[in-house]
Structure 1
Amino acid sequence: MELKSILSKDQVNQFFKDGFLKIESFYDKQKDIEPIQYHIYCIIGLLLKKYNIDFQQLPYSSLDFDSGYQELIAADRKIGGEVYDALKHVPSFLRLVCNEKHDAIVAQLRQTTLPGIANGGYGIRIDNPKEEKYRAGWHQDYTSQFRSLDGIVFWSPLIKITEELGPVQLCTGSHKDGLVPVHAQDPRYPDKSGAYGLVFKDEANLVRRYPIAAPLSEPGDLILIDYQTIHASGYNNSNRSRWSMQMRYFNYEEPTGIRIGWKGSFAAGNAIKEIHPELMF
């Protein structure tokens, strides 16, 4: 099936030069974003009742869709994980994951007729204020996702991202230098596990080599990130959780993906040392 090219020549060039690309107003707020926000609001309401938390949600609005969430995690931080898991099954979100415009972008950037969606590679992140345990440190998505080497992350916020909320941080041009070896557990944060526990070899000096970009964004915007671009979640220094969506696509025709059988990484239960022992140090 032939897909229509969506990105301009300048946008394509910028993606390949920087390893990421911000596209303003890519999604329709009313059609694509607000149904997801409303589902989040409803799930929070159900859990407030389930756990008998005495809090009256604000009337629904796209600006306050997360009303009651801080009260949930204040009562028990584990309830935040229940929200996170529930949101993976919301139809409005899954419809966005499978948006045909995503297929077209992958086809255009990767010159493929076979784009794929990484199972276990999509979800809605909730980065809570001043919480380090689940903050994603410096990483490349390929190492924690696999599937194929030239995948693309579709990153989009559900609230307006300010400096205080902590925008995603990107090492400009780092994708050109290939994959970086990792250690499976960051000694600085022994409570982090899985993909959150990964740390680069000589990380501080590695990151200093690149200009850091931290683009601000708002609902409807899209940031495309190359699987090999070094990036990290920003620090949330606000009093509100940072809500964002990640949807990961890959190219079936890429040789590394074919070699490993398009296997996934942590979410698929595979250890890096088993699939890519050369990436461990």
Structure 2
Amino acid sequence: MAQFQLADTDKVTFDRDGVIVLRGFHDPERDILPIQRAIYEIIGLVIERHGLNILRESFSPLSFDAGFTELIRINRGYGGEVYDLVKQIPAFLRLISSQHSEALFCSLRGTDLAGIGTASYGIRIDNPGEEKFRSQWHQEYLYQPQSVDGIVLWTPLVPILPETGPVMYCVGSHRDGLRKYVKDDVYSGKSGAYKISMLDEETIANQYPQSSPLTQPGDVIVMDYLTIHQSGYNRSARSRWSIQSRFFNFKDPSGMKIGWKASVTAGTEIEAIFSDYFVKGAA
């Protein structure tokens, strides 16, 4: 495995806050640019497949998603095609499973056996003003029950400005364990796991200092599986593209006890696994 030395101060911060921001963790030219270039090509192929007349500027790292806004304006479903296809880009798969990232996890968790959960990674596309698929306050462990000893790596593919909607997290919230959740009418307009909400989520979130770091492609936000966080509100004119990957510790007793279950998106019945943490009725 590649050697990775995490600064002592970063380890202390992560243990205390449940989050660290590593600037320039990925090389923009070597790691990020090939993904951006492939996304540009895929958008063009989807446009071509549907015979659409969408003019696009030439590729650049700052405009790799040229034509996407026009594409989803014509048909939102075309954006779904792009969403599914970009997860199959080899450069993306190399990045999420890189020795560099694995070594980071092992350094943080003091283990020599890391795992990447089934369906635990992807490229998010958060469109301006679109609430249906925005991720509200939650803890990753509920949706990724591989082991409580896990981390999320969040990497932007576009510069994250205040209007783009940076990730929001509650500093130190991981120290208070897994919270109670409810599946009710609060988020009835959402789909799948987005219908699940943390019980009294705003009250709980407001108990902690909150942070929303601005990041650039190549930066990584590293979060503990129990850190309370949510997607920011994209109020810009452009989609927010970001990479999420997750590592877990095979040797953690909690994961072993439940059998290192796959992500909720892979069909895992999290309400059965975490029955003690689900409350019936309205939040």
TM-score bracket for the superposition, by shorter chain length: over 0.9
Deviation per residue, 1:157-205 (Å, 9 max, x gap): 00000000000000000000000011124x2331212221111111121
TM-score by length of 2: 0.96
Tell me which residue corresponds to 1:81: 80
Displacement of 1:265 in angstroms is 3.5
Residue identity over aligned pairs, in percent, reads 46
Secondary structure of residue in 1 paired with 2:163: coil
Q: Distance in 1 between matches of 2:263 and 2:69?
A: 31
Which residue in the other structure is 1:166 paired with?
Answer: 165
Partner of 1:141: 140
Partner of 2:232: 234
- Out of 158, 178, 195, the residue aligned to residue 197 of structure 1 is 195
| One-letter amino acid of the structure 1 residue matched with residue 175 of structure 2 | K
* Residue 275 (str. 1) matches residue 270 (str. 2): no
Deviation at 1:136? 0.3
**What residue number does 2:45 align with?**
46
Q: Quick check: 1:6–1:101 contact (8 Å CA) kept in 2?
A: no
**8 Å contact from structure 1 (residues 155, 244) kept in 2:** yes
Q: CA deviation at 1:206?
A: 0.5
Task: Please name the residue that 1:122 is paired with.
Answer: 121
Q: Distance in 1 between matches of 2:46 and 2:3?
A: 42
For 1:224, the aligned partner's letter is V
Residue equivalent to 1:252: 250
1:62 counterpart residue number: 61
State the Cα RMSD in Å. 1.1
Letter of the aligned partner of 1:52 in structure 2? G
- Equivalent residue for 2:206? 208
| 1:276 shift after superposition | 1.6
* Equivalent-residue separation in structure 2 for 1:102 and 1:279 (angstroms): 31
Partner amino acid, structure 1, of 2:31: D
Inter-partner Cα distance in structure 2 for 1:195 and 1:154:
20
Superposed structure 1 runs of 4+ greater than 4 Å apart: none
CA contact (8 A) 2:4 2:100 kept: no
| Counterpart Cα distance in 1 of 2:5 and 2:277 | 34
Provide the residue aligned with 1:31 in structure 2: 30
* Code of the aligned partner of 2:54: F
C-alpha separation in 2, matches of 1:145 and 1:167? 22
For the residues of structure 2 that align with 1:160 and 1:136, how far apart are their CA atoms?
A: 20
- Distance in 2 (alpha carbons) for counterparts of 1:27 and 1:238: 25
Matched AA of 1:189: Y
Work out the CA distance in 1 between the residues paired with 2:47 and 2:5.
42
The 3-state SS of whatever aligns with 1:190 is coil
What secondary structure is seen at the aligned counterpart in 1 of 2:61? Answer: coil
- 1:262 paired with 2:260, answer yes
Contact 1:167 1:214 in 2 (8 A): yes
Distance 1:26 1:265 in 2: 26
Tell me if the contact between 2:39 and 2:64 (Cα under 8 Å) persists in the aligned partners. yes
- 1:272–1:279 Cα contact (<8 Å) kept: no
Residue 19 (structure 1) aligns with: 18
Q: Deviations over 1:22-55 (max 9, x none)?
A: 0111111111000000000000000111112211
- Partners of 2:216 and 2:196 in 1: CA distance: 29
The separation in 2 between residues aligned to 1:66 and 1:72, in whole angstroms, is 10
Give the unaligned 5+ runs of structure 2.
Answer: none
Q: Which deviates more, 264-273 or 28-37? A: 264-273
1:265–1:271 contact (8 Å) kept in structure 2: no
